Amino acid sequence: MGDRVHIKMCWSRAFLAGWVLLLVLLQYLQAVPIGIDKTKVKETEEKPEEPPASVDTGLHYDRYLREVIDFLEKDQHFREKLHNTDMEDIKQGKLAQELDFVSHHVRTKLDELKRQEVNRLRTLIKAKQDLEGGNDIAVDHQALLKQFEHLNHRNPHTFEVEDLDRLIKSATNDLENFDKERHEEFKRYEMMKEHDRREHLKTLDEEQRKKEEEHYEEMRKKHADHPKVNHPGSQNQLKEVWEEADGLDPEDFDPKTFFNLHDTNGDGFFDEQELEALFTKELEKMYDPTNEEDDMVEMEEERLRMREHVMNEVDSNKDRLVSLDEFLVATKKKEFLEPDSWETLEQNQAYTDEEMREFEEHLVQQEHDLNQRAVDLQKQREELERQQEQLNAQKIELQQAVEHMERLKSEKVDPPPEVHIEGDAVPEVHAADNQLHPDQEAHLPGHHETPEHHQDTQQEHQEQHNQGNQDLPQQGHPQAHHEEPPNQQEVAQGQHNLS
């Protein structure tokens, strides 16, 4: 958490991702840091030291912002106007009007940068729409359009005055919201820590709970027992740095010399990171990473509170940088010489009781939603498992059918035809030729007889009927049937022929 917060604060070196840096560059090339031999500076004139690299602002359009800044800096006219323009005028968009006087080469490159940025945003938005649409999530079109606020997306081809104006205002607004977001993040951290402590107490018996409460109060008192913390940016606070960090006599304190000593990059300004470095001695009075009672996340919040306070007091033009002139003016104020006491975090709880109550209610609702979601997912899982079982059963049946057909094929046995006739029995099939009996064939559905075939069939039936009558014995005289040897049958047949 501390590292992440520390990274967030680094964007200050490039105020608004470089707008003030352009002003600083002009002075940076002429600045000579204290303690460097001027003769050595002359030796390096052929290879001038490059200005410090700007730090990632954390904005989603950070790369586009940097590239626009870099190319505008190359135009001499725009560079001069930037040097002579007040920061408030820059924020109000007056500097953007100077874009009309930028060289054709720079304008052409800015057009190309804008087209690339528009294509990038369109690709990201399309991917997000596909993802959310595929998950049956309602797409927030207004939120998607906010991704284009730093440029005029209705004209995706050329970089105009409106684009520069939008870029400046968007960067100003987004960066200024960082502090607010940081405060909210720390507040949530503190409330969650308190919530976890309360939940832990619920798991203990009465005796254990009492011991835990006593230990908690002991740690709070131990943390609050520290040396007096000087008011950030006051004479006493700076003199302490002058004496302990710089090793100088506090009686010889000189604001201008102090400024030059701690302007570590020699650009003529205190940026936010350089300011926060001045508060290290004060923070060490309250926080020790080896102590159980000291929370390093709270230490970083305290550091940022101090920086924010000094910026509000000293940064008169609100450019998030402290110039030498602003610093010298501040050292002459009453607040610098006779400051009020500084209230630390333990004296200023980050949240109210009402906010804590709402936070815990929100956690309860979140837990309920997560449990319901878990139940729904379990039901979905069971349904998927049931469907998988059905598919496996069907797969087994299909495999068995395939194996049966392969076995019949290997045995060269034709499978009997499957004939299903509703309401009637399955017709008999003669094994000799697999042909249906004519009577059965005549009764099959869809069978049609010609008149000739019908007459022949009736004739055949009549002959069979007559033959049957001849074969029958005389009525009333039943004839016994005795089997005879084959030779006797032949003799009898011969006698019949002779007669």
Encoding tokens for residue 180?
């607010």
- Mean pLDDT over 390-406 rounds to 93
Count of other CB atoms within 10 angstroms of residue 316: 12
Average pLDDT over residues 465-472: 49
Rounded to the nearest 5 degrees, what angle is found at the Cα of 108, between the Cα atoms of 104 and 111?
140
Cα dihedral across residues 478, 483, 488, 492: positive or negative: positive
Single-letter code of the amino acid located at 136: D
Which two structure tokens, joined as six digits, stand for 205? 């018996």
Rounded Cα–Cα distance for residues 201 and 293 (Å) = 18
* DSSP 8-state assignment for residue 269: E
In a 13 Å sphere around the CA of 169, the CA atoms on its Cβ side amount to 15
**Whether the Cβ atoms of residue 255 and residue 249 lie closer than 8 Å to each other:** no
Query: pLDDT class for 68, splitting at 50, 70, 90?
Result: very high
Q: Which two tokens stand for residue 97?
A: 């009007």
pLDDT above 90: percentage of residues in the chain = 42
pLDDT value of position 131:
72
Higher pLDDT, 272 or 33: 272
Give pairs for 86-89: CB < 8 Å, separation 24+: 86/317, 87/20, 87/317, 87/318, 87/319, 88/317, 88/318
Q: What angle do CA 309, 310, 313 make, to 5 degrees?
A: 90
Per-residue pLDDT band at 53 (split at 50, 70, 90): very low
What is the C-alpha separation between 355 and 397, in angstroms, rounded? 63
Q: Of the candidates 97, 74, 75, 70, which has an alpha carbon nearest to the alpha carbon of residue 85? A: 97
The CA distance from 472 to 468, in Å, is: 6
> Within 13 A of 395's CA, how many CA atoms are on the CB side?
6
Q: For residue 196, is pLDDT > 80?
A: yes
* Backbone torsions φ then ψ of 269, nearest 5 degrees: -140, 150
> How far is CA 236 from each of CA 240, 251, 337, rounded to the nearest angstrom?
6, 12, 8
Judged against a pLDDT cut of 50, whether residue 80 lies above it is answered with yes
User: Is the model's pLDDT at 278 over the cut of 60?
Assistant: yes
Residue range 164-181: mean pLDDT, rounded = 82
Measure the CA–CA gap between 54 and 57, rounded to whole angstroms.
9
Distances (CA, A) of 115 to 69, 122, 154: 16, 11, 12
* Tens digit of each residue's pLDDT (9 = 90 or more) over 114-156: 999 888 888 888 887 777 655 555 556 666 667 788 888 888 8
CA dist., res. 252 & res. 2, Å (int): 36
Whether 169 has a pLDDT exceeding 70, the answer reads yes
Best-predicted range by mean pLDDT among 163-167, 246-250, 463-467?
A: 246-250
- Give the pLDDT of residue 254: 95
Q: Is 479 left (phi over 0), alpha (psi -120 to 50) or beta?
A: beta
Give me the sign of the Cα torsion angle 187, 193, 198, 202: positive
Q: Confidence band (pLDDT; 50, 70, 90) for 33?
A: very low
Strand partners, 323: 269
**pLDDT value of residue 421:** 52
- Exposed/middle/buried for residue 99 (C-beta within 10 Å: 0-12, 13-18, 19+): buried
Q: What is the mean pLDDT of the chain?
A: 76
pLDDT digits 0-9 by tens, 210-224: 999 999 999 999 999
Average pLDDT over residues 80-88: 76
Q: What is the mean pLDDT of residues 376-384?
A: 95
In three-state secondary structure terms, 450 is coil
pLDDT reading at 486 higher than 70: no
**H/E stretch holding 270:** strand 269-270
- Cβ–Cβ under 8 Å, residues 24 and 284: no
Region 70-84 average pLDDT: 84
Model pTM? 0.56
Q: Is the pLDDT of residue 304 over 80?
A: yes
Look at 483 and 208; give whichever has higher pLDDT: 208
Query: Residue 31 is which amino acid?
Result: A
pLDDT for the residue 138:
57
3-class secondary structure, 322: strand
- What is the pLDDT confidence band of residue 76, given thresholds at 50, 70 and 90? confident
- Grouping H, G, I as helix, E, B as strand and the rest as coil, residue 323 is strand
- Flag whether pLDDT at 481 surpasses 60: no
